[in-house]
Amino acid sequence: MQADRRKPIRDVRPRSREAAARAAQRRAAFWVALLVGLGILLWLLGSILLPFVLGMAIAYFLSPLIQQLEQRGISRTIAAGGLVVGFIVVTGVALVFLVPLVVEQVTALVQRLPDLVAWLRQSLLPIVARFAGRFGLRIAPVVSQPSPEMVQRVAGFVSGLATGLLSGGLALVNALALLAITPVVAFYLLRDWPKIVRDVDSWLPRDHADTIREQMRAIDGVLAGFARGAALVCLVLGAFYAVALTLAGLEFGLLIGLAAGAISFIPYLGVIVGFTTSVGVALYQFWGDWGWIALVAGIFVAGQILQDYFLTPRLVGEKVGLHPLWVIFGVLAGGVLFGFVGVLLAVPACAVIGVVVRFAIARYKDSEVYLGEE
Residue 182 lies in a domain: yes
Helices and strands: H and E segment counts in the chain: 13, 0
Task: State the pLDDT confidence band at 166, using cuts at 50, 70 and 90.
Answer: very low
User: 232 and 220: one domain?
Assistant: yes
Burial (CB < 10 A; 0-12, 13-18, 19+), residue 49, is buried
What is the tens place of the pLDDT at every residue in 71-80?
888 888 998 8
**What gap in Å lies between CA 103 and CA 89, rounded to an integer?**
21
Range of the domain at 98: 46-203
Backbone angles phi, psi at 74, to 5 degrees: -85, 135
**Residue 13 pLDDT greater than 90, yes or no:** no
Residue 297's pLDDT is 92
Structural domain contains residue 158: yes
Same domain, 218 and 128: no
Residue 330 is predicted with a pLDDT of 83
What's the CA gap between 370 and 360, in Å, rounded?
Answer: 12
- Is the domain of 263 the same as that of 293? yes
Q: In the predicted model, what is the mean pLDDT of residues 199-214? A: 86
What value does the mean pLDDT take over residues 216-242?
84
Decide: 271 and 279 in contact? Cβ < 8 Å. Answer: no
If you average pLDDT over residues 225-245, what whole number do you get? 87
Residue 18 included in any domain: no
Last residue of a domain, one of 170, 203, 236: 203
Query: Is there a single domain that holds both residue 141 and residue 258?
Result: no
CA angle 325, 328, 334 (to 5 degrees): 135
Greatest mean pLDDT among 94-103, 123-132, 215-224 = 215-224
| Per-residue confidence band for 106, with pLDDT thresholds at 50, 70 and 90 | confident
What pLDDT, on the 0 to 100 scale, is given for residue 169? 45
**CB-based contact 55:189 (threshold 8 Å):** yes
Of 289, 284, 229, 237, nearest in space to 258 by CA: 237
- Give how many domains the chain has, as a whole number: 2
Confidence of residue 370 (pLDDT cuts 50, 70, 90): confident
Residue 241 and residue 372 in one domain: yes
Q: Which of 172, 203, 234 is the last residue of a domain?
A: 203
Q: Which of 203, 230, 257 is the last residue of a domain?
A: 203
Q: What is the mean pLDDT of the chain?
A: 77
Asked, for residue 14, whether it belongs to a domain, the answer is no
Better-scored residue on pLDDT, 293 or 161: 293
Average pLDDT over residues 362-367: 85
At residue 165, the pLDDT reads 43
pLDDT, average across residues 241-252: 90
pLDDT at residue 3, rounded to an integer: 47
Provide the pLDDT confidence category of residue 62 given band limits of 50, 70 and 90.
Answer: confident
pLDDT digits (tens, 9 = 90+) for 108-152: 777 776 777 676 667 666 766 676 666 666 655 544 444 455 445
Both 263 and 189 in one domain: the answer is no
Higher pLDDT, 154 or 320: 320
